[in-house]
């Protein structure tokens, strides 16, 4: 029995995330009128207005040094009260509901079941996957510890746009410990997916009967199930990306009245969330460009302002610190300040470049690459194909034009995130939009609802029981997770393993208890840092530490370690660095008792922590 794996904690975690959304919604409703949001951003829902208000609120709280785990929950709970009242009012206005049809009941029940599978998966804290434990969950955690937003010096990822991290401060603030914090953040991700789908269908005015089948198809998608359960930026990019494209499509429609700024704001928020989401600009501009040219100069400027403000704020912050607004990926080299120049060791580049010789065995023919890219989309692309077929049969050429930006995006994404067996996941933010667009086109036909209903079957059967293009999460796995959460213990007889931590993660958990909090660990290869309160510098990522991997004398290496105030060095015992990188690390000749690197602790899996003895 685990104290974090129980139906009670699951419900508690759902309730905590609900409090966050109620607070966002409450704040949005309160601010809507005084800020004249309906006039400026008419398609901005109140909960997202509230989300932005809370992100902005983090700034003065940070300046006052009270952005902590006491003040933030109090604000959330206080704002959840009006949120609850507004929600009650909104629900009351909808009653009495029309008598549901049989198909609605069937799909409604099935969707709730699928959502249970997805939310239980999101509830299981993922202790193995790197990204959240490297930066995305780390930043809000460290900020809350410090009571303020600050530049986390140990990671270059502090240069990223941090809209998600500033939002995640709020759900993170109402978690009970580090493990639960991951659960809360993960469930928060899944809740953003649900919001994206239901706000998306509404914005795009997908036929009512098709909404539930389309939603079910999105929620069933394997990669959505996997990636929207992680405490990282993907789902927020998915939320704002879906909203941006859905709003752009909506604004193209003839009867749209009012300010066109909503879609531009959503696109800006997408860019302020995730750098790789820049590719969504392509379909967005294809949808918006024609209308944009017809705007007055004032609206053109306002649209560009709405687009640029949020990412611009983060870019300026990054530029002030490092010199380049796009640091650390694709920095403007001539602008990078001294001390921030990046010289990634070539071995790490080879390992991280999936088109390098190390991955020759996955050098598939082009047709297979393209197939993999679209196969990742599972039911979403089936809906789109059905929508295209409907447009062709009905000869609705305007509808076909709506598909072209998606195809343009796909071509760009295949090239930019080459090869697709690795890079297809970067396109997940577009999946709900693709499904909703397909459903929108299908809703032109009377048979659309039946076609969508039929497509739910392969969307469930194929990834659930047969095969997927990426990492499989069959139905048996999903039910195992749900059953384990609901009965409060991992169902080991299922044959599936529970997410366990990795050796370096375990080392950090150990070090967090065994070593003083001011300890600095240099990790030669592994990147995680979430579970250690001290500092973890990842050698090959950090601009100063990267110099270690160049041709140096031992004395120069020692100087670098001393400059970084390193106390411990973390390595894999048998193979301390990637490929033949050890060749340039002279200090590795000095591992031993009384030596420069003195072994202290080794965990299962062979990860070793060595004390650095410079004298």
Partner 1 sequence: MVLILSLSLLGSVPLNPLLLLPDSVEVTVINRIDGATIESLHFLLPESTTIEEAFIDHPIPVGDSAHVTLPFRYISRVVIGTDRMGNYRRALIAFNPQGDTLSFSRADKEFGGFFDVILGSELYFIRNVTTVPITAVYLRADTLAERNILGSNPLLTNESIFLWMDADSAWVRAVDIEGNSSATLPIQKSREYGANSFRISDFVEPAEPVRAGEIRVISGLNGGEITGIEVYPVVDEPFYLNLEQDPLMLWDQLTIRCPGEVEYLICYDSMNRSFSIDTTDPETDAFIVDWWHLDFDFSFPDRRR
> Residues 21, 531, 540, 549: which binds partner 1 (CB under 8 A)?
531
Is residue 358 near partner 1 by the rule CB under 8 A?
no
65: left (phi over 0), alpha (psi -120 to 50) or beta: left
Residues 120-139 that bind partner 1 (CB under 8 A): none
Instruction: List the interface residues with partner 1, window 560-589 (CB under 8 A).
Output: 571, 573-577, 579-583, 585-586, 588-589
What crossing angle do the helices spanning 163-173 and 178-203 adopt, rounded to 10°? 120
CB of residue 146 to partner 1, shortest distance in Å: 10
Q: Which of 13, 46, 68, 262 binds partner 1 (CB under 8 A)?
A: 68
One residue of 514, 518, 550, 565 binding partner 1 per CB under 8 A:
514
Residue for token pair 């640091």: 327
Cβ 406 to partner 1 shortest distance, Å: 43
Residue from 509, 520, 544, 559 binding partner 1 (CB under 8 A): 509
Q: What is the CA radius of gyration of the chain?
A: 25
Residue closer to partner 1, measured from CB, 455 or 610: 610
Is residue 100 part of the contact set for partner 1 (CB under 8 A)? no
- By the rule CB under 8 A, 608 interacts with partner 1: yes
Q: Any contact of residue 73 with partner 1 (CB under 8 A)?
A: no
CB of 357 to partner 1, least distance (A): 17
Binding segment toward partner 1, per CB under 8 A, in 154-162, 222-230, 406-414, 603-611: 603-611
Among 290, 517, 562, 613, binds partner 1 (CB under 8 A): 517
Candidates 45-53, 204-212, 391-399, 504-512; binding stretch for partner 1 (CB under 8 A): 504-512
Nearest to 504 by CA among 31, 12, 192, 127: 127
Q: Two tokens at 306?
A: 């709405």
CB closer to partner 1 out of 145 and 353: 145
Only segment of 211-219, 249-257, 379-387, 591-599 that touches partner 1 (CB under 8 A)? 591-599
- Closest CB 66 distance from partner 1, rounded Å: 13
Count CB-CB contacts under 10 A for residue 362: 14
In the set 7, 489, 606, 614, which binds partner 1 (CB under 8 A)?
606
Residue whose pair of structure tokens reads 């490092």 in the numeric block: 322
Of residues 373 and 530, the one with the C-beta less far from partner 1: 530
Measured CA to CA in angstroms, residue 607 lies from 93, 472, 514, 594, 601 at distances of 59, 28, 16, 20, 8
> Other C-beta atoms within 10 Å of 340: how many?
18
Q: Does 368 bind partner 1 (CB under 8 A)?
A: no
Say how many residues touch partner 1, by CB under 8 A. Answer: 41
HEC per residue, 22-55: HHHHHHHHHHHCCCCHHHHCCCCCHHHHHHHHHH
556 in contact with partner 1 (CB under 8 A):
no
Name the residue among 233, 147, 132 with its Cα closest to residue 182.
Answer: 132
Structure tokens at 442: 């299908």
Asked if 286 and 404 touch (Cβ cutoff 8 Å), the reply is yes
- Considering the complex, state which of residue 127 and residue 237 has its C-beta at the smaller distance from partner 1: 127
What angle (nearest 5°) sits at the alpha carbon of residue 212, between those of residues 207 and 215? 105
Q: Which of 1, 33, 593, 615 binds partner 1 (CB under 8 A)?
A: 593
Angstrom CA distances, 381 to 103, 222, 441, stand at 22, 13, 13
Residue 477 found at the interface with partner 1 (CB under 8 A):
no
Q: Is 599 in the site for partner 1 (CB under 8 A)?
A: yes
**Minimum distance of partner 1 from residue 518's CB (angstroms):** 12
Tell me: does residue 351 bind partner 1 (CB under 8 A): no
Q: Select 462 or 579, whichever has its Cβ closest to partner 1.
A: 579
Distances (CA, A) of 140 to 52, 147, 310, 528: 16, 10, 18, 15
**Measured between alpha carbons, how far is residue 120 from residues 20, 72, 123, 302, 600 in Å?**
18, 26, 5, 42, 38
Strand 520-523 vs strand 535-538: parallel, antiparallel, or unpaired?
Answer: parallel
How far, in Å, CA of 150 to CA of 62, rounded? 9
Written as six digits, the tokens of 497 are 């393993």
Nearest distance in Å: CB 80, partner 1: 22
The yes or no reply on residue 62 touching partner 1 (CB under 8 A) is no
Query: Under rule CB under 8 A, which residues in 138-197 are in contact with partner 1?
Result: 144-145, 177-179
CB atoms within 10 A of CB 104: 15
Nearer Cβ to partner 1, position 71 or 282?
71
Q: Decide: is 526 part of the binding site for partner 1 (CB under 8 A).
A: no
Residue 594 as a binder of partner 1 (CB under 8 A): the answer is yes
CB of 9 to partner 1, least distance (A): 13
**Residue from 254, 296, 334, 513 in contact with partner 1 (CB under 8 A):** 513
Burial class from Cβ neighbours inside 10 Å (0-12, 13-18, 19+) for residue 481 reads: buried
Neighbouring CB atoms inside 10 A of 95's CB total 6
Q: What are phi and psi of 603, to 5 degrees?
A: -110, 170
Please, what is the minimum distance in Å from the beta carbon of residue 285 to partner 1? 43
* CA gap 123, 9 in Å, rounded: 9
Decide: residue 507, CB within 10 A, 0-12 exposed, 13-18 middle, 19+ buried.
Answer: buried
Of the candidate residues 510, 520, 544, 559, the single one contacting partner 1 (CB under 8 A): 510
Q: Is 595 in the site for partner 1 (CB under 8 A)?
A: yes
Residue 470 CB, nearest distance to partner 1 (Å)? 30
The answer to whether residue 257 forms part of the interface with partner 1 (CB under 8 A) is no
Give the angle subtended at the CA of 142 by the CAs of 599 and 275, to the nearest 5°: 100
- If binding is defined by CB under 8 A, does position 60 make contact with partner 1? no
Return the SS3 of 204.
Answer: coil
Smallest distance from partner 1 to CB 111, Å = 34
- Residue 492 lies near partner 1 (rule: CB under 8 A): no
Report in angstroms how near the CB of residue 68 gets to partner 1 at its nearest: 7
Name the minimum Å distance from CB 128 to partner 1: 16
Please report, as ranges, the residues that interact with partner 1 according to CB under 8 A.
68-69, 144-145, 177-179, 509-510, 512-514, 517, 531, 533, 571, 573-577, 579-583, 585-586, 588-589, 591-595, 599, 601-603, 606, 608
């Amino acid at each position: 029995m685990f104290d974090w794996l129980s139906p009670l904690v699951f419900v508690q975690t759902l309730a905590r995330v609900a409090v966050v959304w109620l607070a966002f919604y409450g704040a949005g409703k309160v601010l809507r009128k005084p800020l004249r949001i309906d006039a400026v951003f008419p398609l901005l829902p109140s909960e997202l207005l509230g989300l932005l208000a809370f992100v902005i609120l983090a700034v003065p709280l940070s300046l006052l040094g009270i952005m902590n785990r006491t003040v933030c929950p109090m604000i959330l709970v206080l704002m959840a009260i009006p949120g609850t009242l507004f929600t009650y009012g909104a629900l009351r206005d909808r009653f009495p509901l029309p008598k549901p049809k049989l198909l609605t009941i069937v799909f409604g029940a099935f969707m709730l079941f699928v959502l249970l599978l997805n939310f239980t998966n999101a509830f299981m804290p993922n202790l193995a996957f790197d990204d959240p434990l490297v930066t995305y969950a780390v930043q809000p955690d460290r900020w809350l510890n410090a009571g303020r937003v600050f530049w986390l010096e140990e990671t270059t990822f502090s240069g990223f746009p941090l809209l998600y991290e500033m939002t995640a401060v709020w759900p993170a603030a109402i978690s009970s410990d580090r493990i639960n914090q991951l659960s809360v953040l993960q469930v928060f991700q899944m809740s953003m997916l649900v919001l994206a789908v239901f706000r998306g269908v509404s914005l795009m005015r997908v036929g009512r009967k098709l909404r539930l089948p389309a939603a079910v198809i999105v929620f069933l998608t394997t990669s959505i199930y996997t990636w929207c359960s992680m405490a990282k930026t993907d789902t927020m990019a998915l939320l704002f990306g879906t909203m941006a494209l859905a709003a752009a499509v909506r604004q193209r429609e003839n009867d749209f009245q009012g300010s066109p700024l909503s879609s531009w704001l959503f696109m800006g928020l997408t860019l302020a969330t995730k750098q790789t989401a820049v590719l969504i600009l392509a379909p967005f501009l294809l949808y918006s460009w024609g209308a944009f040219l017809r705007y007055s100069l004032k609206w053109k400027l306002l649209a560009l302002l709405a687009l640029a403000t949020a990412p611009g704020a983060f870019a300026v912050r990054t530029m002030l610190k490092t010199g380049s607004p796009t640091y650390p990926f694709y920095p403007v080299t001539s602008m990078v300040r001294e001390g921030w120049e990046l010289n990634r060791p070539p071995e790490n580049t080879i390992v991280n470049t999936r088109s390098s010789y190390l991955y020759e065995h996955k050098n598939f023919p082009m047709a297979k690459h393209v197939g993999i890219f679209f196969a990742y989309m599972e039911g979403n692309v089936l809906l789109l194909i059905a929508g295209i077929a409907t447009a062709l049969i009905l000869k609705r050429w305007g509808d076909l034009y709506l598909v072209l930006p998606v195809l343009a995006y796909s071509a760009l994404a295949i090239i930019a995130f080459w090869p697709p067996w690795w890079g297809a996941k970067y396109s997940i933010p577009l999946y709900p939009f693709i499904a909703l667009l397909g459903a929108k086109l299908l809703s032109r036909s009377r048979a659309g609802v039946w076609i969508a209903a039929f497509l739910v079957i392969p969307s469930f059967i194929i990834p659930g029981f047969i095969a997927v293009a990426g990492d499989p999460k069959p139905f048996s796995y999903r039910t195992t997770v749900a059953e384990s959460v609901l009965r409060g213990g991992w169902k080991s007889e299922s044959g599936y393993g529970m997410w366990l931590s990795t050796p370096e993660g375990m080392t950090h958990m150990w070090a967090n208890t065994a070593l003083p909090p001011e300890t600095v660990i240099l990790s030669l290869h592994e990147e995680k840092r979430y579970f250690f309160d001290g500092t973890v510098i990842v050698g090959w990522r950090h601009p100063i530490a990267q110099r270690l991997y160049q041709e140096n004398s031992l004395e120069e290496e020692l100087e670098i370690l001393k400059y970084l105030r390193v106390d411990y060095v973390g390595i894999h015992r048998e193979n301390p660095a990637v490929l033949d990188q050890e060749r340039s690390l002279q200090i590795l000749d000095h591992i031993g008792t009384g030596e420069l690197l003195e072994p202290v602790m080794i965990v299962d899996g062979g990860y070793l922590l060595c004390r650095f003895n410079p004298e």
